[in-house]
Structure 1
């Protein structure tokens, strides 16, 4: 592949020919990304990970027939009318071995979760029982098999508990734990270096007097990964070709993914793309016909036995970074873990008109249900250098290019 870098050409934003669409960019990420292998993790460390192999139960649940309530285990071969009486011969608490074998017209005091004794035909909850010292009397009629959790009624031995590709949620982990699963094979997380480019980042309030600005990108990205139970290494690099080259050379052999902010456009100090190409990265795409986030760059470098290092370059404006994280980085992260799925867009109804634009826009909006219909309302201050509306936004909404949007029109969105 020819990695020569063309001379800088300044043109109207979004007017260049050949820009790919949002959907094309997402598909190219899926087409050019392979998963990173698998690892065995304790279940306690596997939250949000994707299952690499089907998980089968080695036990049945419940493991034994047990009482569903606090009450009395009873032996009787027919339904029992009110005022039926039974001889009380003992007590069983949860966790105790049931050494009793009931005979007809006998009962045992039992508690929720305790193993029912042999010959139990039903359980009477304590609210319908009168205790008379050595016997009990029913105050209501009772049918057979009442309040008995039967062995294996929830899970049988050999039943599939979690399927390959399933994400381990809090509920999934709880369910697997109840079935005695202690570790699980999952797809490996990528090792990620986040590179914040730019000499304009302020370290102190005093730095603001010299024209610098506070960095929102590093906290934004770090918080995004923390929400996915993933740690990343954050690095800053100066806006010089040599600094970027030295850093990329070092990171390429140590990380599965280099995620950058800034330095991917055509400015005099935008070195991410030219340096990556110089170092042998293969460009997958550069520039997407969207707003914000047009100058996005995706590339990869094969490392023989060490696998592949991927590079995703996001623009520097924090609004564009936020959009890139929610749509493209999320898609890439899942693909690196064996899940080649496009974003799951929802449909909602816009509550106002919007003017057309030459590029597809990804607007921060508020989605809320009104009489069963998901309504979408745009927020002000959508420029890519602004973030304040994220304190209200709960979704990103796709606005097709070259279309005047009318109130009531159905649009696609993504919850954030």
Structure 2
């Protein structure tokens, strides 16, 4: 077989992902206030120091009752004040007594039922009557029925999203141990970036990679500065020499192929980086470069360089697949990407390389279906206005309409 897909030295997508998942050294941990941990990964399991609920309470606005009667419809009770949420009653309920109570209020000693206010008839300031029968222990939230002291709330590696943060907060958790987030430097290489519309007349183009990466990292939860440097070996070398001391990850765009002005790989080697792999049998993004710098002294920290091609679609795909995998691996996340299966609605010609195609996924009659989008070349981005997933198409296989393929939803 001939063509770039058969080029020697290319590794598979799965091999590249495996190396990025397993090669990085996990970052240190830190203890932070819970409110600062959104989108962070837990470094230690969290256990509850309290019961939830911490006391038995009313599940509704209504009346706490004390009765041994088997049939409660039309039963009457003497009314003894009220309990608001956040307050308590020191007086236990006696047989035939009731007290007004609100949702979340601590039920007094002696309570056997809580009657929601919709079924209670207030006959006077001192008496109520039930319009319906209710079962024993109705509408009572009992101590520890959701969480008990010592119960595990969250495990190592769990991502703290807004729901997890709220659940931990409700359990009174104040601080948690999380993995440090990677310090990332983003370097856009090239002399072709236009700074003004007039620059377009000089053969330059507007920058998409800088804004793309800035937005991608913001969505991931990191605020990064974008550095622009020219395609000059001395600039690239100096940049790597400085950044490897300060950052855990360097992301570059452009300069990773075999052109006369592609200086990322040689300058990486000159500044102490060791190649993990270069070139993946995929489309777009074949000349993907992954390298590692290990300091000679024990006080330093490793730095990982992920060199992306310069074409913006290749940058976008590589960040969704490999960039996220690398950042997650540094925070002890080595689980595989979450691929879904869906039905392709049309045929696709074969290609010598595996492809990541931008597609639109939608449900039709309960089935998840995929529609490919036009303008898939690596220098084109306009179809990202409609794309909501990346679909992995195997090499050397013609895909027929109606066939199942694997996809990855785009979240940013």
Q: What corresponds to 2:110 in structure 1? A: 119
Q: What corresponds to 1:17 in structure 2? A: 8
Q: What corresponds to 1:87 in structure 2? A: 78
Query: Given the superposition, is the C-alpha separation of residues 198 and 79 from structure 1 closer, same or farther in structure 2, using an over 3 Å criterion?
Result: farther
* Pairing 1:317–2:276 present: no
So what's the TM-score if we normalise by structure 2? 0.97
- Structure 2 unaligned spans of 5+: none
Contact 1:79 1:142 in 2 (8 A): no
Q: What corresponds to 1:46 in structure 2? A: 37
Q: What corresponds to 1:148 in structure 2? A: 140
Q: What corresponds to 1:385 in structure 2? A: 379
* Pairing 1:179–2:171 present: yes
The CA deviation string for residues 299-344 of structure 1, in whole angstroms up to 9 with x for no partner, is 0001232220000000000000000000000111110000112211
Paired with 2:395 and 2:329, the residues of 1 have a C-alpha distance of: 27
Paired with 1:342 and 1:131, the residues of 2 have a C-alpha distance of: 61
Q: What corresponds to 1:408 in structure 2? A: 402
Corresponding residue SS for 1:253: helix
Paired with 2:377 and 2:68, the residues of 1 have a C-alpha distance of: 76
Paired with 2:246 and 2:186, the residues of 1 have a C-alpha distance of: 13
Aligned residues: 406
Paired with 1:33 and 1:388, the residues of 2 have a C-alpha distance of: 34
Paired with 1:80 and 1:37, the residues of 2 have a C-alpha distance of: 63
Contact 1:81 1:141 in 2 (8 A): yes
Contact 1:83 1:140 in 2 (8 A): yes
Q: CA deviation at 1:15?
A: 3.6
Q: What corresponds to 1:269 in structure 2? A: 261
Q: What corresponds to 1:260 in structure 2? A: 252
- 4+ aligned runs moved over 3 Å, structure 1: 11-15
Q: What corresponds to 1:103 in structure 2? A: 94
RMSD: 1.1
The CA deviation string for residues 321-370 of structure 1, in whole angstroms up to 9 with x for no partner, is 00000000011111000011221111111110111111111000011112
Q: What corresponds to 2:343 in structure 1? A: 349
Aligned pair partner of 1:223 in 206, 215, 226? 215
* Pairing 1:68–2:62 present: no
Q: CA deviation at 1:12?
A: 5.0
Paired with 2:9 and 2:54, the residues of 1 have a C-alpha distance of: 62
Corresponding residue SS for 1:14: helix
Aligned pair partner of 1:302 in 283, 294, 298? 294
Q: What corresponds to 2:325 in structure 1? A: 331
Contact 1:73 1:109 in 2 (8 A): yes
The CA deviation string for residues 234-260 of structure 1, in whole angstroms up to 9 with x for no partner, is 111111000000111000100000000
Q: What corresponds to 2:353 in structure 1? A: 359
- Structure 1 unaligned spans of 5+: 1-10
Paired with 1:80 and 1:88, the residues of 2 have a C-alpha distance of: 19
So what's the TM-score if we normalise by structure 1? 0.96
Q: CA deviation at 1:283?
A: 0.2
Paired with 1:396 and 1:406, the residues of 2 have a C-alpha distance of: 18
